[in-house]
Amino acid sequence: MNHLQKLVSEAQNTTKLATKTKNNQTKIDEITAKASKAAVQLDTMTSNATLVSTCAVIDAAHETKSACKMMTKLQKTIDTANNSTKLAAKSKGNSTKEAELKAKAVTAQTKLDAMTSNTTLVDACSSLTKAKADGTTSAQASTSSTAKSAGIVLNAKVGSVFSAIVLVAAGTLLL
């Protein structure tokens, strides 16, 4: 659904569309035609409450996983700036580059502090990390409903993905 929404939004933004296609009218017409079909399909899909709620869970799981990765990346940046050996290796002895890395670490610390103040996110990340380390399902390791939803979706196997596809197809056909 996100892909369809993005396509429709891009087609409605004429400036962005012209830039993306380099003012090629044929491509603009193709994208506009696809967007028209996408808008109809999107209207049909959004009328299905089950589909919308399932997509919301999947989107939340992806956002949670992305936020966890971002927290890890921010922590690595901070750790590098605080470790003189790593900092010297990364900057190759260039003091200007060291100062830039330290400035990035300060910004990273601010962002990380804001993210870690969200206890639900921290719990979800801990659960996902623990589940990955233990080899258990995230649902067993989760302590919150958000973490459970994220873990279930992120650790989905082929069968459950296939089931979701069948659910989407069935929901679309019923309309």
Is the distance from CB of 112 to CB of 71 less than 8 angstroms? yes
Residue 33 has pLDDT above 70, yes or no: yes
Find, among 61, 11, 71, the residue nearest to 39 by Cα.
11
User: Domain coordinates of the chain in residue numbers?
Assistant: 1-46, 49-174
Measured between alpha carbons, how far is 151 from 145 in angstroms, rounded to an integer?
A: 10
Residues 20 and 27: their CA atoms lie apart, in Å, by 9
Tens digits of residue pLDDT in 55-90? 888 888 888 889 999 988 998 988 888 887 887 788
**Positive or negative, the Cα torsion across 144, 149, 155, 159?**
positive
pTM of the complete model: 0.56
Highest mean pLDDT among 104-118, 132-146, 159-173: 104-118
> How many residues in total does the chain contain?
175
Q: What are phi and psi of 156, to 5 degrees?
A: -65, 140
